[in-house]
Amino acid sequence: VASVFIFRLFESLRGCKSNVTGVWNEIKLQQPQSSEVKRPGDTVKISCVTSGYTMTDNDMNWIRQKPGKGLEWIGWINTCSAVATYASSFQSRFSFTQDVSSSTQFLQITSLTAEDSAVYFCAREH
């Protein structure tokens, strides 16, 4: 019997305000507030839609939290060059991509295992 695990997608870890040409503008990072059930070996693609600022002006970090554990930094993507840097334990199956036209960041995880069960966050660099 294959085990099943759940990815909980929450709104961003961080939200803040930025002064854009003299006007306070609400900055938002939004993730679907839902749970996604996947099986071992599957692939999941998690999205983070940005608004209120130019996405390529600020790099994006990805972080996760396993049940009952602390935060783990997965890595970051330079949103201007789309070059990603990953923490050593996340280099093989995790990848960051972006779609500038829709102001969306993505985290894809391949070959899922039960150890990947966690809450995943996107966090904009300030």
Q: What is the pLDDT of residues 16-69, one digit of tens each?
A: 333 333 334 455 666 666 667 888 999 999 988 888 888 888 889 999 999 999
| The model's pTM | 0.75
Residue 11 has pLDDT above 70, yes or no: no
- Can you tell me which residue has the tokens 């995790």? 94
pLDDT classification of 10: cutoffs 50, 70, 90:
very low
Give me the residue label for tokens 């939004």.
30
User: With DSSP H G I counted as helix, E B as strand and the rest as coil, what are the percentages for the chain, rounded to 5?
Assistant: 10, 50, 40
Q: Is the pLDDT assigned to residue 15 strictly greater than 70?
A: no
- Provide the domain limits for residue 105: 5-124
Give the per-residue pLDDT at 51: 84
User: Comparing 15 with 56, which gets the higher pLDDT?
Assistant: 56
In CATH, what number is assigned to the domain containing residue 115? 2.60.40.10
Higher-confidence residue of 14 and 126: namely: 126
d(CA 47, CA 96): 10
**Mean predicted confidence (pLDDT) in 117-126:** 87
Read off the pLDDT of residues 82-107 as tens digits, 9 standing for 90 and up.
Answer: 999 999 999 999 999 999 999 999 99
Instruction: Specify the number of domains making up the chain.
Output: 1
| Token pair in block for residue 123 | 């966090």
